[in-house]
Amino acid sequence: MLEKLSDKSNFKRFPKPVLLVIMDGVGYGRFAEGDAVRSALTPNLDWLHEHCPATSLQAHGTAVGLPSDEDMGNSEVGHNAIGAGRVVAQGAKLVNQSIADGSIFERDTWRDLADNCRSHDSTMHFIGLFSDGNVHSNIAHLRAMLERAAEEQVGRARIHILLDGRDVGETSALEYVDPFEEFLRELNGAKGTDYRIASGGGRMYITMDRYGANWQMVERGWNTHVHGQGPQFAGAREAIEKLRAESGAIDQDLGNFVIAENGEPIGRIQDHDSVIFFNYRGDRALEITAAFEQDEFPHFDRGQRPHVAYAGMMEYDGDLGVPKKYLVAPPTIEKTVGQYLCASGVRSLAISETQKFGHVTYFYNGNNSGKIDPDLEEYVEVGSDRVPFEQRPWMKAAEITDRVIEAVSGGDFDFIRLNYPNGDMVGHTGVYQAAQIAVETVDLCLGRLRKAVEKVGGVMVVSADHGNADDMYEHDKNGGVKHENGVIKVKTAHSVNPVPCLIFDPGFQGEYRRELRQGLGISSLAATCIELLGFEPPKDYDPSVLQWENN
């Protein structure tokens, strides 16, 4: 247990509670056209901007531990940064470093998987998100592993591709498939290997479910990758083109497919094979990992479960030790806000619906499951609806708000952190009207929270983990909206826009300046909340947005 935080000098007022409200996917857009936040009716958010201290925070790139400022932020690294109070090198950066210095291939995990294939003359399988979106994975990592496998005389590999269309262009799959097929042809020709794409499908249709929201996705992926069950095609390009023509679906929603020759799948996963799930982000990797690793598995009938050597790109859950083997060690995030507050006796509530529950708990707590101190913490998960988000863009925001207002009024908590997923999850659908409604839903909830906080004399910090709904259209370098066949090109990925930081403090007595610090990242939310709770932030935390009159 960490040492207790010291009291903040000359700040005797201790408001109860301090709320940290994360408007997931709500940023400050650069372009009016395509900005569903700007075009939404948001009287409560507008009021906060007009009457409260405000600044903007960076929520992407190096500000959240990603390799470069061209990399979009995401909810996982965002909540890591918010909970850590400082910038921590994240998945993509760690994997990049380990590939660059070769350490990924020197670890026992890689050696064991490669040795397994050589000793059994078996196949090395790679499953993961097939793009360079740098949120869950990067196709460059896959290429590097295949090149190394070929050098180490692993003769046969099969790749099971999960189409993106979410962190990259919504119909960009062939921009990745065609060059990759050429890469495989060249590698096979130079090394005499047999490396081929074996199966695939959209990331929101197979394999990549999270938080137990829809195990049927994982079951479809398991049957596709492992058993070779699904519509058969001669190649990935043919599969994508025909499935698009039949369904009209964008990449993330495209159906599953199996590559076959003479009616036989070319890439079933069988006994003694090696399997690498090459996503480095944990939330959408845990369920498929469980299907491979757990002996007792109640979620669906796996059929004949092959005995394989399995590994993830990274450790997805440090507390649970999942997966058992991984290629790159995850960031070790210690001294989190949650740990400090528990050491200081602060009573905390964390709440969201299923889609983001893990973000205000697991990711916020430094990639660790479970409570830090059950006597001081309560975690509330509101079950998400299992319907397409564009059909119900209000999601569970009202239910979250009901529970938070109850907690504020009851006085049982000093610190409450909550996440409204609407701007992000609905933004990912690309449906503009739905995204507007999502933002307006969150705005209504902010108005309700404001009244509850004002009634008890608390403080509300309103921010976000990254943008999304603020940038719903693709733009060219001059800011013009892109079109394809006369139709606006929809953007389903996160934005690289800054996010709000608003301080609603009805009991304000001039302790700090109304002008907040500029040029900070979302990691500064930690020190901000710690100060508003009446404590001095740890010295290694990024600075608070507050500028104190006595400093």
For residue range 261-279, what is the model confidence (pLDDT) as tens digits? Answer: 999 999 999 999 999 999 9
Average pLDDT over residues 431-435: 97
Whether the Cβ atoms of residue 481 and residue 34 lie closer than 8 Å to each other: yes
The domain made up of 92-328 is a member of CATH 3.40.50.11540: no
Average pLDDT over residues 466-477: 94
Q: Which residue, 457, 535, 517, is CA-closest to 11?
A: 535
- CA dist., res. 275 & res. 124, Å (int): 6
**Domain residue extents for the chain:** 20-89+332-355+381-532, 92-328
Catalytic residue among 75, 137, 344, 523: 75
pLDDT band with cut points at 50, 70 and 90 for residue 1: low
Q: Which residue has the tokens 């005995």?
A: 307
3-state secondary structure of 327: strand
- CA dist., res. 191 & res. 147, Å (int): 9
pLDDT at 247 exceeding the cut of 90: yes
Q: Which residue has the tokens 């469980």?
A: 290
* pLDDT score at 134: 87
Numbers of helices and strands, H then E, in the chain = 16, 19
Q: What is the DSSP letter of 375?
A: T
* pLDDT score at 551: 59
Whether the Cβ atoms of residue 160 and residue 126 lie closer than 8 Å to each other: yes
Domains 20-89+332-355+381-532 and 92-328 share a fold: no
Whether the Cβ atoms of residue 201 and residue 220 lie closer than 8 Å to each other: yes
Phi, psi for 41 (deg, rounded to 5)? -85, 110
- CA dist., res. 95 & res. 107, Å (int): 13
pLDDT at 319 exceeding the cut of 60: no
* pLDDT score at 212: 86
Give me the CATH topology for the region 20-89+332-355+381-532.
Alkaline Phosphatase, subunit A (3.40.720)
Residue type, 447: G
* pLDDT score at 93: 85
pLDDT band with cut points at 50, 70 and 90 for residue 70: confident
pLDDT band with cut points at 50, 70 and 90 for residue 315: confident
Percent over 90 (pLDDT), the chain = 86
pLDDT band with cut points at 50, 70 and 90 for residue 72: confident
Q: What is the pTM of this model?
A: 0.77
Question: Any catalytic annotation for residue 274?
Answer: no
Whether the Cβ atoms of residue 543 and residue 527 lie closer than 8 Å to each other: yes
* pLDDT score at 194: 98
487-540 confidence digits (pLDDT tens) = 998 998 899 999 999 999 999 989 999 999 999 999 999 999 999 999 999 999
Phi, psi for 185 (deg, rounded to 5)? -60, -45
